Structures are given as structure tokens and as C-alpha cells.
Amino acid sequence: MTPLTPGQERLWFLHRLDPADASYNMPIALRIHGALDCTELRRALAEIVTRHDVLRSRFTEEDGTPACVIVLDDIPLHTREATIETVRDLVADQANQPFDLADGPVARFTLFRLAPGDHVLCLVLHHIVADGWSVDILLRELADCYEAFIAGRPFPLPPLPIRYADHVRRSRDEATASRTTYWTEALKDAPPLELPTDHPRPATRSTRGAQIHHEIPPDLVAALESLARAERATIFMVYLAAFQILLARHSGQRDITIATPIIGRTRVDTEPLIGYFTGLIMLRADISGHTPFRDHLRTTRNTALRAYDQGELPFGAPFQAMFMYLRTQSERPRLADLTVEIFDSGLATAKTDISLDIYQGPTQTGLTFTYDTDLFTPESITALTDRFLTLLTAISTHPHNRISRLAVIPTPELIQLDNQQTGLPTISSELGVLTSGAGVIGEFTGLTGAPDCVAVECDGQHLTYRDLVRRVDEVAAELRERGVGPGHVVGVRLGRTLEVVPTLLGIWRVGAAYLPIDPEYPDDRVAYLLRDSKARLTVESGRVGDSEAGLTVESVGLGGREAGLAGGCGARLTIESGGSGATLVVESGGLGGGGRADELIFPETSSAGSGAAYVIYTSGSTGVPKGVVVERRSVAARVRWMVAEYGLGPGDWVAQFAALSFDAHVEEIFPALAAGAAVVMVPDGGRSFPDFLRTPGGRRVTVLDLPTACWHELVRDLDGVAWPEGLRLVILGGEQVSAEAVSRWRQRFGDRVRLVNTYGPTEATVVATAAELCGEAGNPPIGRPIGETTVRVVDEYGERVPVGVAGELLIGGVGVARGYLGRARLTADRFVPDAAGPPGSRVYRTGDRVRWLRNGELEFLGRFDDQVKVRGYRVEPGEIESCLAGHPAVEQAVVVTRDGDLVAYIAGSASHDDLRRYAQQALPPHLLPTHWVTVNGFPLTANGKLDRNALPAPTTSPSAYIPPRSEAEELVAEIWADVLGLDRVGAGDDFFTLGGHSLLATRVIARIRHAADLTIPVRTIFTRRTVAEFAQAVEAILEEAERCPTP
């Protein structure tokens, strides 16, 4: 009984961990043509097994320590009949069948007879008793013995100088403590390799794998060998350095660790032995794109030499990538005068995520990528192979280039990227060619319609297109009288009333830009926005206020018109701005020849199309919000695309869901008006949206534009929502769409209702990419670039990344905003010159991580910074942290997201109620934390950085628990606790204080309906906030339903 080497111990442990793992099988399959003497072949194999006793090993265990026992049993050569059609599967079965290391044998030999003179020999050994060198010994000795035996000669091989067991004992005696110290320090805090995968990583590796083979051209090999000589390196080091770069460019990581085997045959007497002499070393590299390849190669050489000096890793360590280089002296095995060729063994296992083997013979060099099929598809690894060859070519021709400038994308893939990164110009046969000239908001010719169709409807009131034109004129005149003109900013602080649309258009009419201000914003926030934007005026419900002097004048009232006109009957509002003036037009069907009626032509007061359309403030990482200036030409391009792509026209009723402070309102209002559709304003927005759908206005809706988070909540209760009969299009945006939700939607609606997923930051004018969601498997994509838009995915050095590789999304084209108001440095950082575009063009650096899919669509992967999306709103935690840190009783504040909610962690003595009130004075509602956690200190990583993953989960502990006192209270408390994820909820607890919000309120209403068959208006929970109050409302509605039952 002998001990094991450290390498054998690692393989033994892996086998004990998963006895069904065949990834350490070493199959050799040979196709043999000619008169094979099976008897002498069997004799030759038997002699080799006798000669190398390690092949007769069994691996036992004593008190948890493995040991090797040599037995006398032979390893027979099994013979089987097969056909060319079946032999591949039979060989693969042999190659992928696991060994039993305890009971043995650790090798198996099978000869398949296909026909007279045609055989396949399959030899399979477990790696614990052999290495790559051993395979060469086995095949060479097999050839020598077979040739001697068929010629009648005796056993031809000399005695072995030592046994494998002698080597094991000697190597264990040579192990040193300094080796352990070296490797412990070298691998300290080494991050795992995170390559982009095609499938989610399973909880447990299955070791299923496959291989891709490719030849490296001889002239390329010669050039790389010349480079190696010039840099006093080996060709192994050149290939290793290239593989490190390939992995870095695909993972986006700088710290790359690769395992590689080393030959432990340091003494001459080990060279003729079959056995496991291979040890593993881990080669770690810090790869900067600014480093020239020659410098990286020198660093790789020095790292490898230090690792060789230390020897194999004396302990187990995880790794995700492996590299092996092997130089052989022959191209193919020999066996007397028979014709022998390599036969595919069909090995279908992988030791790790991905490994690269390069075999170099006298005339040919081949590479093999072995990959985990649970993670990668063959198409992805084939593409990886092409990129590695492209990289090797770039290294051979430009070794002085910086790593980031070395080409890694093959030419065909570059052409594919060029073709899919630009959206086509918007062309509509219905509307004619829509120009892309500066300043065009809309240009429609030859269309007629009636001016008395509904343009805007809100809560039972409406404006016709004729009314809208008149009201826009009145607003513009009033603004002009106040001195508002081109270049000015006008604040709009209006609720959801009929005043909103004419106010926005009136501001545009005089050439100014509007600044939307949510009426719910605290006064401090409003004051900051007005001060920072230098707004000339503010428009509020019932008055126009001077933002500086505080003066007010009475607004012209809109009256209380009766609802009931048929909507979408052909009227169109055309908003044209350009060098020739601005025009508001209502087209009427009463004029022959396509003439225009009720036409109001205003004098030129607006700037060209580069004039600002609006300023919207978004959350800022520095602690203060920043104003995004969007130009009119950008809005014009988006309106053109939306009208055409969404098929908007007379007859459509578009729900206006978004708050004005959210740029989705642009998509809901202006394309609808430009297409002659009706805009239906949702009175309370998301707070009572399900209730709105039951109103006459809601039932008429044909187009919905919803935040993804809101849609997710509605899909949870698909059958409980009163979806409009005429609904034909739902547009999503703001967050990642759930594949499960799409599947449920398609099961309910089939193809009757289009489902479009859009993506676009405020800085790119609402939308930059779009995708039709049809329910395909996988993560729903964000699609392709829309009209007049370009997108590129780049690495941290600005270089394009291959398909499937994560990078930062850059957006270019006409939709790119002017920049951040009054923040030149921040604008220059985020809006950068477009190297691939026309002179003067720019792209916006989104900070979003995306990747191209093979079908030409983009997949959203997250953020590169701390920015998050919460219920559709873009949130910079730094802004909230900065606000909270201003409280005198706060030492430090950290804000993170958990399960879609904002959680504030506070070090200090401030109470949660005090902090909540303090934050409400400065932050808008969507930036207020849902949960508050007081901590004594913040957890840190080994590098001294904040460990956000180690922050404790928030808990809610009501200060005074009052048990539910009625059946209704018990029902409500149970549902609230389940929805909010709490252990219990008392009668006096407030839904919103416990962490509730509008989306969870929708879920509560659905649960009440399912539990009690009772429909409660969503807005009820906003006015009856405690369990007791809400339960009273439930009981009242239930009593009313019993008193007046529905027939």
C-alpha cells in the first residue's frame, strides 16, 4: 500500500465527490486498416499492464486517507462486432463510462471489429494512473511489442529503472512548506472567471462537455515561434499570454487565473514510466488594455518561470479555465505495417468551464476547445475559436500594439456588427416620407379629417383638436406676454388635467422648453429644480407663476365640456417647427382636394430644430439631480418612428400613464397627437390604474405604455384586470422584462395584442432600442436600434466587443440629448465624440451592461455603476445617501436595493421616523427608502471596501402591535403580511410605513378579489392606509354588494 501524490489526491477527492464523473477519463481510439493479429495485440497489451503495475491500481481509503494498492488482476482486451454506423456510439460509451477507483479496473481495452481488415481499438485510462506523456509511452510500447511478437521475437523492452510507487514516495519527501506559502500568497483573493454563458449556471456541475477542433496555419505558427525567440520565451508562453487576453476580453475581467499542467518528470528515471506525473500550477495575470503585448508576454514568462520553480500546487484550488500545450514527435500512431489513424473517441465531458489544448506535431498544429455544454453552445465556442485565431494573427503581425488594440473580432463578425448597430431611417407609406431635417416635429401632407374629434380626454372631460389648437394659442399668447421666448425654460407643475397638453404645446409654440415638475415633489426639491434650470416661469394648476418674483396671473379656464364624442375620427394636430416658422394645424375632411381648415400660422418665434424641447431632471450620483436637455429634432425623430412603428392613427386611444417628470410621457402624448389619435389621461396614474381601465375612457384604450414593473403586477392577476376589448398594443420600458410574465401574457392574449419591449435612457430621448416579445425562451431582449439611431457595445477602452460579450452600450444618432444643463464636465464625460459617425456627432455612454445576441438583438445585463431602476425610475443611491448624510444625527448612510425596494442603512442615532420626515422634505417619492435599518457599523471586504452583500436583511417591527379584531381585519392582515413578506401585521399598522407601494397595492387588491370575490378600488388603500381602516372599507363594500346584488 502506497500513498498518493497531491495531484492524485485531488483526482481521488473529485471522484469521491461525484463517482459518476467521467471528465478525467483519457480515451484513445485508433482506426486500424489491415490484417490485424488480435492474439498478438492482446498479448502486447497484457505485457504492458504487467510492466507498469500502476495500471493495476486500486484506490482505497483508511481513516479518510487515500492509498494505492496494486493487484495481480490483468486487464482483458474485449472484442465486439460493430458497424461503421454503430461504432461511434459504442466508442463514445466506452469513453464516457466512469471508473470505480476502489474496485477497479482503472483502465479498459476494447477492440471493435467492423469488417475483415477494419478495426477500431479503444483504450480508456483514468487520469489518476496516466498523463499525456504516458499515452505516448503506451502507444510506443504497444507498437514495439506488437511488431516483435508478430515477428516471433521476444519481449523487446528493457527493465524499468524504478516503479511508479518509488516516484510517489520520493516526491512526497521533497514537498516543502515554502511551496504552500508561495501558492497561498499567489492565489490570495483571486476572483473566479466569469465568462458570458449561453445558459444559466446550474447549481451543480454535471461535467457534460464537448469539443471544437481547429488547425493553426503553419505560417502563423512560424511567426509566433519567431516572436517567442525574440522575447526569450517559449511558444507555450505565447499561446498562454494570448489565451489570457482572450479570456479577459470576453469576461471583462483584468485578474485572470488559468490552471495548466506541468510535467513532474524532473528526473531521467521517470521518463519511461506510465503514471500520473502531472501537477497543476495556477498562472495569474493582471491584464491591462494599455499594456503592449510584448510587455505582457515578458510578464507571463516571468510568472510562469516562478511557478515552475515552486512546482505543483500542493493543495486543491478551484479554477474555471485550463490550458495545455503538448509537442509530439509523430503525427499518428504506428502499428507494424498497418494503417493507423486517430478515431474520434466521442468524449463528452469537461473538467471545467473551458479548456484549451494545443498539440504541435512535426508538420501540423491543432487546437481543441473543451467546454461545459451546460453553459455554452457549439456556436459560441466555434466563434471563440475563430476569435482566438484572429487574436493570434494580430499578435504575430502587431506584437507592439496595446492589448486593447489587438484585433479579436474576425472580419465576418465585424460586418455583422456593422449591419446590426444602425437603425433604419423611418419611412411610412401612410404618412409619406418623414424628413429627418432639423426641427421637424411632424410633416404630413394630403390628409384630411374632422376637427371635432377628441384630442385629449381626462376624467370625463375632453378637448377636441379644434379646442386644442385654440387653447395652445391662448397659452402661447399668455406666455409671450410674460416675456417667454426661444431659449427660455418654463416649469410645468400640473396634475393630471386637460391643461397639461396645451401647456406643453404652448411652451413649444413660443420656442421655449418645458421643465416637468411633479406636484408631489417637496418644496425644497422644486426650489432646486427651478433655481438650477433658471426657469423663467412656472405653470401650475389655475395660474402661471413667475419663478423668481413669485407673481401670478389667472389662467384661462378650460371649462367642463361634456364627454361622448367619438374619438379618433380623422383629426390631426400637426406640429411643425423649422426655418420657415411654427404651425399648428387641424385638418378637416370638409374641404375637397385635401385642403386645410382652422389653420393658425404663427410668426417665427422658435429656434431651429436644435432648440431645446424639454429639460428633465434625473437622479444624480453626486447627491444632486441633473437636468437633461433634449432637443426638438430629437423629439421629432422619435415621434416619426413611434407613429410608424406603433401603427398609430385615427381610431387609436392612447393611455397617458406616466408622470410628466418621467420622459415616457413624450411617447404617450406627441405621437398620438401627430397621428390623429386621442390621448386619454389616467387621472391618478399608477395609483388607480386598474380602476381606470373599468371607466368609459379606460375601456376605449387601444394602446398602453406601461412601466415594466407595473405590467408585471398586472400580469400577476391577468384575469382580474379589465383589459380593454380594443387593446392592440402594449409598450413596456424601464426595467428588465420577466420571461415568465411574457409567457403568461401570450397564453392569455396569443398574438392579438402586440407586446413591445423598449429601452432608452432620458439622455437618448425616450427610446433607443425595441423588441417584439413573442414568448421565446430565454431572457427577453431589449431589441435592435430604432430609426435614426446607432448603438455600439464597447469595452472599457472603447473597443467593440464580440457577439455574446458584455460591454457598455453607447447610443448615437439624432436622439442623443444636448447634455446636462450647466454641467459641462459631466456632459463631456458622458457625451463623447462618435469616432464612427460624421464629424461633430456624439454618442451617449449609458453605463448599462449589454451584449449582442446571435440573432442581432441586445440583451440587458445590468449596470457598471451603482445606478438602479426602482419601479421604472432611474435611481442613483448616491443622491439618497448624500441627502441622508446631511442629517446631524447620521454618521454614515448606505442605500441599496433588495427585492425591488430601496433600503437605507444608517449608522447614527437618528430614528427612522425622523429620517423619513427629513428625507420627505428633500427627495421625491420615488427616491424615498422603503425600509430603514440602523447598524453599528458597515461590513467590509478583505480589501477594505464596503461589502454590500453582507448587509443585514431589513426587518419591520411595528412599535405597538394590535391583533386583528374581526374577520375582515384578519383577512386584510394576512394578505398584507404575505404581500409585504412580514411575519405578522397588526390592526393599526400602516401599509406604506410597512414598506408598501403602488405596485404592491395592486397585488393586495387582486388578493382581496380572489379571497372574497370582491372588487375594491385601488385608490382605497391610499386613503385607508391601516389594516383597521382598510378592513372597514372592505366590510362596507361587502355590505353594499349584499344589499344590491349584481343580477
942 lies in some domain = yes
CB within 8 A of 191, min separation 6: which ones? 253, 255
322 lies in some domain = yes
Q: Name the average pLDDT for the chain.
A: 84
Same domain membership, residue 920 and residue 786: no
What is the total count of domains within the chain?
5
Q: What is the structure's pLDDT at 734?
A: 84
Read off the pLDDT of each residue in 772-787 and give the average, rounded to a whole number. 89
Q: Check which CATH number belongs to the domain holding 44 and give it.
A: 3.30.559.10
Contact 658, 685 (CB under 8 A): yes
Q: Residue 463: beta bridge partners? A: 456
853 lies in some domain = no
Nearest to 347 by CA among 364, 333, 324, 368: 368
Pick from 226-240, 291-305, 387-401, 534-548: least confident: 534-548
Q: Check which CATH number belongs to the domain holding 487 and give it.
A: 3.40.50.12780
pLDDT band at 609 (very low <50, low <70, confident <90, very high): low
Same domain membership, residue 919 and residue 971: no
Each residue's pLDDT tens digit, 277-291: 988 899 999 999 999
pLDDT band at 889 (very low <50, low <70, confident <90, very high): confident
Same domain membership, residue 1039 and residue 994: yes
Same domain membership, residue 413 and residue 273: yes
pLDDT at 737 over 90: no
- SS3 assignment for 603-623: CCCCCCCCCEEEEEEECCCCC
Buried-exposed string 315-326: b where 16+ CB fall within 10 A, e elsewhere: eeeebbbbbbbb
Q: Which residue has the higher pLDDT, 138 or 171?
A: 138
Same domain membership, residue 991 and residue 893: no
Each residue's pLDDT tens digit, 236-257: 999 999 999 999 999 999 999 9
CB within 8 A of 248, min separation 6: which ones? 254, 256, 285, 287, 403
Q: What is the structure's pLDDT at 1046?
A: 55
pLDDT band at 24 (very low <50, low <70, confident <90, very high): very high
Q: What is the structure's pLDDT at 953?
A: 80
Read off the pLDDT of each residue in 162-179 and give the average, rounded to a whole number. 81
Same domain membership, residue 437 and residue 413: no
Pick from 943-957, 1012-1026, 1030-1044: least confident: 943-957
764 lies in some domain = yes
pLDDT at 524 over 60: yes
Q: What is the structure's pLDDT at 174?
A: 64
Read off the pLDDT of each residue in 669-679 and give the average, rounded to a whole number. 95
Q: What is the structure's pLDDT at 874?
A: 63
Same domain membership, residue 402 and residue 452: no
Pick from 209-223, 240-254, 537-551, 561-575: least confident: 561-575
359 lies in some domain = yes
Same domain membership, residue 363 and residue 333: yes
Domain boundary among 908, 925, 950: 950
Which residue type is seen at 733? G
422 lies in some domain = no
pLDDT at 566 over 50: no
Q: What is the structure's pLDDT at 1?
A: 82
Same domain membership, residue 295 and residue 250: yes
pLDDT band at 6 (very low <50, low <70, confident <90, very high): confident
- Residue 367, classed as helix, strand or coil, is strand
pLDDT at 594 over 60: no
Give dist(CA 539, CA 265) in Å, integer.
84
pLDDT at 793 over 80: yes
Domain boundary among 358, 387, 417: 417
pLDDT band at 582 (very low <50, low <70, confident <90, very high): very low
- Residue 705, classed as helix, strand or coil, is strand
Q: What is the structure's pLDDT at 871?
A: 59
Q: What is the structure's pLDDT at 645?
A: 95
pLDDT band at 960 (very low <50, low <70, confident <90, very high): low
Same domain membership, residue 412 and residue 432: no
Angle between helices 708-716 and 998-1012 (to 10 degrees): 10
Q: Check which CATH number belongs to the domain holding 277 and give it.
A: 3.30.559.30
Report the half-sphere exposure of 890 (CA within 13 A, side-chain side).
Answer: 24
pLDDT at 913 over 70: yes
pLDDT band at 820 (very low <50, low <70, confident <90, very high): very high
Same domain membership, residue 522 and residue 437: yes
Give dist(CA 579, CA 4) in Å, integer.
86
* Cell numbers given for 889: 444625527
Domain boundary among 895, 919, 950: 950
pLDDT band at 872 (very low <50, low <70, confident <90, very high): low
Q: Check which CATH number belongs to the domain holding 885 and give it.
A: 3.30.300.30
423 lies in some domain = no
Report the half-sphere exposure of 902 (CA within 13 A, side-chain side).
Answer: 30
Q: Supply the range of the domain harboring residue 899.
A: 876-950
pLDDT at 268 over 80: yes
Pick from 203-217, 364-378, 948-962: least confident: 948-962
pLDDT band at 909 (very low <50, low <70, confident <90, very high): confident
Same domain membership, residue 475 and residue 623: yes
Where are the strands (E) in 602-712, listed by range? 612-618, 626-631, 653-656, 678-681, 703-707
pLDDT at 558 over 80: no
pLDDT band at 1043 (very low <50, low <70, confident <90, very high): low
- Residue 556, classed as helix, strand or coil, is coil
Cis omega (within 30 of 0) for bond into 519: no
Nearest to 782 by CA among 809, 805, 802, 800: 809
Q: Which residue has the higher pLDDT, 937 or 217?
A: 217
User: What percentage of the chain carries pLDDT values higher than 70?
Assistant: 87
Contact 939, 947 (CB under 8 A): yes
924 lies in some domain = yes
Q: What is the structure's pLDDT at 680?
A: 96
pLDDT band at 1044 (very low <50, low <70, confident <90, very high): low
Give dist(CA 43, CA 145) in Å, integer.
9
